[in-house]
Amino acid sequence: MKKLENKVAIVTGAGAGMGKAIATLFAAEGSKVIATDISQPRLDELKKIISETGGEVTTLLANMAMEEDIERMIKLATDTYGTLDILVNNAGIMDNFEPVGELGNATWEKVMKINVEGPLKAMRGAVKLFLAKGNGVIINICSIGGIKGGAAGAAYTASKHALVGLTRSTGYMYSKSGIRCNGIAPGAVNTSIGETIDMIKITPLVNDRIITGMALNPRTGEPLEIANAALFLASDDASFMNGHILVVDGGWSAY
């Protein structure tokens, strides 16, 4: 039997990278997938791939910075499939590695809105459904930026630390309600998130304190390696895991 047979999963940021790999793998394992992204062409490509392999997917153009889009996403799951079993908060953006003294308000607000407020609002909607049915799974993509201080700039680091805290709080608070909430902290992964970085804004301080640390990274991971971790957390194989942050970084953070 497939690991996610007849489950309904939402995967945000599903148009590329880790989100695409997670959505594709979940569909292959029997889940009906609601895939959201800010790029319609990427969603169209994802739908083609999943449909051609016999999977089931419904796509939605959505921006995690927009509360109405998040509400539409949750509603689409219940309207289309009558329920929701799994929420994967994958969508996110980087900063430009700015330390706090170089960080502008606009960057801070944008990063926090997408990386923290978006997942929070999606989790809030999902938890209401999960409480009514007595079970549900949330997986937050937290990044090693959520457990280290020098893997990214101040805004991204703060946003992912906040997401780690939100994950642990949610896992603990609802642990007697049949709800599991865990996070994955990927290291460097071959994805499109680099598109959100303006390399022109990399300063000498960033080169000295952050970029040099990148040399410790043993290798770049592939999206499927993160998707496999997400599948484990979404499945009954992880039935006794809750409020945990699973580091998947090839050993980078072990230094």
Reduced to 3 states (helix: H, G, I; strand: E, B; else coil), residue 220 is coil
Q: H-helix or E-strand containing 224?
A: helix 223-234
Asked if 58 and 33 touch (Cβ cutoff 8 Å), the reply is yes
Burial of 195 (0-12, 13-18, 19+ CB in 10 A): exposed
Nearest to 103 by CA among 157, 165, 160: 157
Give the Cβ contact number of residue 188 at 10 Å.
Answer: 18
129-151: burial string, b at 16+ Cβ within 10 Å, e else: bbeeeeebbbbbbbbbbbbbeeb
Residue positions annotated with a catalytic role: 156
Report how far residue 44's alpha carbon sits from residue 183's, in angstroms, rounded to the nearest whole number: 28
- What separation in angstroms does the CA of 32 have from each of 19, 135, 151, 155, 170? 15, 17, 35, 34, 24
